[in-house]
Every structure is written in structure tokens, then in C-alpha cells.
Amino acid sequence: MSESASVCVLDDVAWQEVTAATMGAAAPCFQCGVCTAVCPWGLVQKEPVSIRRLIRMAQLRVDGWGEAIWLCTTCGLCEARCPRGVPVSEIILALRRLAWERRAAPKGLPTMLWAIHWDGNPWDQPPSQRQAWAKGLDLKPFAVGDDLLLYVGCTAAYDRRSQRIARSLVTLLRSAGVSFGILPDEPCCGESVRMVGQEAYLAELVEGNARRFKEAGVRTLVTVSPHCLDMFRTQYPSWDGFRPLHYTEYLAELLDGGRLSFARELPVTVTYHDPCYLGRRHGIYDPPRKLLAAIPGLTLVELPSSREDALCCGGGGGRMWLETHAGERFADLRVREAQGTGAEWLVTSCPFCILCLEDSAKVLGSEQLKVVDVTELAVRALGDGR
Ligand code: SF4
Ligand code: SF4
């Protein structure tokens, strides 16, 4: 069916396409509207995006969902609250796949995909610069027998701000005596490809990458970004011993094992922003807090919305590659929440969150509030002159 004003016209092709794409995932929805009520877009736009209506259209296999499907950050807040367990963001990704088939994807996304195809990263940077983040660190290629493969990911490899996170993580791993290596020609995990709905290309990327990791003998793989972690945990095939971890989980294991400790006191008050892809997606709430709690002198105050209820920064779901207008950035709200806690540092553990929150802190003139990654704080607390 297609919809014109209040009249719906039957359209068998659309019916079949939406049926095939969503595979009945919207069926359990009973239209309570909780998803629309909790969606952060309702906090930044006069007219909230009616997620309930989108789900109803998917349920009825009705066409005509328009621009709304590109707004979703796949933060998962609606799914966490939905009484019927409807996988809202998966339905939205399915509708994005259909939009590509109909050549209705927003401007800018094809360019990003071509950048991954030709250069292996969505930042449109040359492959020759993939290891620029590690300049002077004397890292070695991963070898069988190493404790882990450090998977840096495109953002921490190319974005200058995020490179500091990867470098801090290297310092922490070395401080704990971990043997690790990198892939000198590290491939893109494909997260941005999945988020914009290019499923066929994604399958090709995942298959090739998984083969490479497996042939290289990778077992424990530690990511900088929760988005890469989500890819390795949910989209890649598993093989014997394959254990993808976020760095906060691995560092927390090192703390528990007595291999990592913080000797230097940091008498600061911090608050912690839970990245959606670490928290709601994978339930990783305690490891970052455990790391913060292990820093002597540090005081953690929680944000008004945290853990399962945390407000999204706005950078997920492919939104990094789309324009978000001033006044519509979730990160502005998050920075204001952080200011209200009285914390001096807003800490998080995701490169996308860092970029969004730091931008908002600058725009809001919030110089007193520093935005940092857990690794950056932890390195300061090592107490060996850094
Ligand atoms: S919260 Fe769940 S059941 Fe309620 S309208 Fe949204 S998708 Fe449907
Ligand atoms: S996943 Fe987040 S952004 Fe997307 S519809 Fe749900 S609450 Fe809104």
C-alpha cells in the first residue's frame, strides 16, 4: 500500500518488499506509543518523530516512511522500554535497506560507502595513513601467541582527537605487561555500512575480514570502539576461542588479576556517560565504573539518566555521516546534564561519544567541563611520571 493524505492504496510490490525486509519483526507491536514517548528526538524537535507510526507502517507493510528512518541513532532506548520487545532499530535498518533499493538514501552516504570501498575507512583518509595514530609507539604486528589483537577501528585510527584514546590504551596495556599486536593493514569492521543499510556490501566485508582474523590466529580481540565491538559480537561468525571484548572489559579483567593498578591520586569529581553500544546493547555498565573506582581520590557522580536509561549522544546509527542541525543535538542535553552534576570531567568510553560530547561542550561554552575517555584518565593515574 502507499499512503496519500488519509487514503491508502494497495501496492503489492511494496507489501512484498516490506514483508521480506522486516520478516514480521513489527508484528508484536500493539501501538502503545512508549517508543515515541521515550525517543530522544522528542526532546530536540517540536514535532517528535512518531516511531510508533513507523512501526505501524512496517507492521501493515505500508510504504512512505520518508526521512524519519534516517533520524534513528539506534540508541535502543525504545527497545529497552517496549513492553512487547519489538526490535525497533532492526526494523528501521531494514527500511533503510529498502530505501537504498529505491535510490532514496540521503546525500553523503554514497560518498561514505565509496570511501570504505576504495580506502578502507569512512573518514575518506588514505590507507597509507592507517597507522599514523601509532607514530613513535613501536607497535608490532599481531602474532599467534600474543595475549590479544588490538583492533583500533577507523575512528581512533584517523580522527586526531580519537587517536589519543588508542595511544592511551597502548600505554595501559604495556603498563600491565600485556603482549599484543595490531594488523598493519587493519580493515574497517563495516559498522557504518550496516548502519546505513547496505547489507550486500556488508556481507562481503564481514566474510573477508572474518577469514583474515581467523587465518591470523586471532582469539581475544580488544576494540577501542563499542560500535566495532557490536559488529564483532553480533555480525561476525564465531570461531574456536574467538573472544571480542571492549577495552573497558579487558582492563577491568587486568585490575581483577592484579596486573593493572593506579598509584597516582586524582582528586577530581567525574561523571560517566554510558555509550548506547556498550551499555544497552551489551550490558557493559560495571567495567568502566570499576576502572574509575580504582583511581585513588576520584569521585564518581552519576548523571540523572544512566545505565539502562542513559541518554544517547546522537552519534550512533550512521548519524556521524549525516547533518544534525544546531539545537537538535542530543549531546547538548547530555553536556547540560553533566554540568548539573557539578563534575569537572565528563568521562565516556566511545570515540563517537567523545566527538559528539566535546563538540557540544565547545558550542555551549562549557570550558570548565573536560570531556575525556576512560583510558585518558586511567593513564594519568598510572603514577609513573606521565
Ligand atoms: S513501544 Fe513497542 S509495542 Fe509500544 S508502540 Fe512502540 S514498538 Fe509498539
Ligand atoms: S533507537 Fe533511539 S533514536 Fe531510534 S527510535 Fe528508538 S529511541 Fe529513537
Domains and CATH numbers, the chain: 2-101 (1.10.1060), 109-255 (3.40.50), 259-380 (3.40.50.10700)
Strand partners, 348: 373
For residues 360 and 352, is the Cβ–Cβ distance under 8 A? no
Protein residue with least CA distance to atom 8, ligand 2: 39
For residues 282 and 233, is the Cβ–Cβ distance under 8 A? yes
CA dist 254 and 244 (Å) reads 16
Strand partners, 151: 223
CA dist 321 and 114 (Å) reads 13
For residues 142 and 180, is the Cβ–Cβ distance under 8 A? yes
The grid coordinates listed for 254 are 587486568
Identify the helix (H) or strand (E) that includes residue 312.
Answer: none
* CA 311 – ligand 2 centroid, Å: 10
Protein residue with least CA distance to atom 3, ligand 2: 72
For residues 310 and 335, is the Cβ–Cβ distance under 8 A? no
* CA 47 – ligand 1 centroid, Å: 18
276 lines ligand 2 (CB under 6 A): no
DSSP 217-270: T--EEEESSHHHHHHHHHTSPP-TT-EEEEHHHHHHHHHHTTS----S----EE
57 lines ligand 1 (CB under 6 A): no
CA dist 362 and 342 (Å) reads 17
- Taking the CA of 52 as reference, the closest ligand is 1
Protein residue with least CA distance to atom 6, ligand 1: 35
169 lines ligand 1 (CB under 6 A): no
pTM of the model: 0.94
* CA 50 – ligand 2 centroid, Å: 10
Q: Helix (H, G, I), strand (E, B), or coil: what is residue 154?
A: helix
The grid coordinates listed for 32 are 502503545
- Output the CA torsion 358→362→368→369 (10° steps): -20
Task: Note the Cα 259 to chain centre separation in Å.
Answer: 28
CA dist 379 and 39 (Å) reads 36
Q: What is the pLDDT of residue 48?
A: 72
* CA 92 – ligand 2 centroid, Å: 9
Q: What is the pLDDT of residue 386?
A: 46
Strand partners, 345: 270, 370
Q: What is the pLDDT of residue 9?
A: 52
Return phi, psi of residue 143, to 5°. -135, 150
The grid coordinates listed for 203 are 556481507
Identify the helix (H) or strand (E) that includes residue 4.
Answer: strand 2-4
Nearest to 346 by CA among 358, 329, 330: 358
The grid coordinates listed for 297 are 581520590
pLDDT (tens place) for every residue of the chain, 386 residues total: 343 444 455 567 777 777 777 888 888 999 999 999 999 999 999 877 889 988 888 887 777 778 889 999 999 999 999 999 999 999 999 999 988 888 888 988 999 999 999 999 999 999 999 999 999 999 999 999 999 999 999 999 999 999 999 999 999 999 999 999 999 999 999 999 999 999 889 999 999 999 999 999 999 999 999 999 999 999 999 988 999 999 999 999 999 999 999 999 999 999 999 999 999 999 999 999 999 999 999 999 999 999 999 999 999 999 999 999 889 999 999 999 999 999 999 999 999 999 999 999 999 987 789 999 999 999 999 976 44
Q: Helix (H, G, I), strand (E, B), or coil: what is residue 301?
A: strand
Ligand 1 atom closest to the CA of 78, numbered from 1: 1
* Cα separations in angstroms, 75 against 12, 129, 277: 32, 31, 7
The grid coordinates listed for 296 are 585513588
CA dist 192 and 205 (Å) reads 11
The grid coordinates listed for 336 are 547540560
For residues 2 and 54, is the Cβ–Cβ distance under 8 A? no
Ligand 1 atom closest to the CA of 85, numbered from 1: 2
- Taking the CA of 39 as reference, the closest ligand is 2
Q: What is the pLDDT of residue 3?
A: 38
Return phi, psi of residue 194, to 5°. -65, -45
Q: Helix (H, G, I), strand (E, B), or coil: what is residue 7?
A: strand
The grid coordinates listed for 84 are 512487547
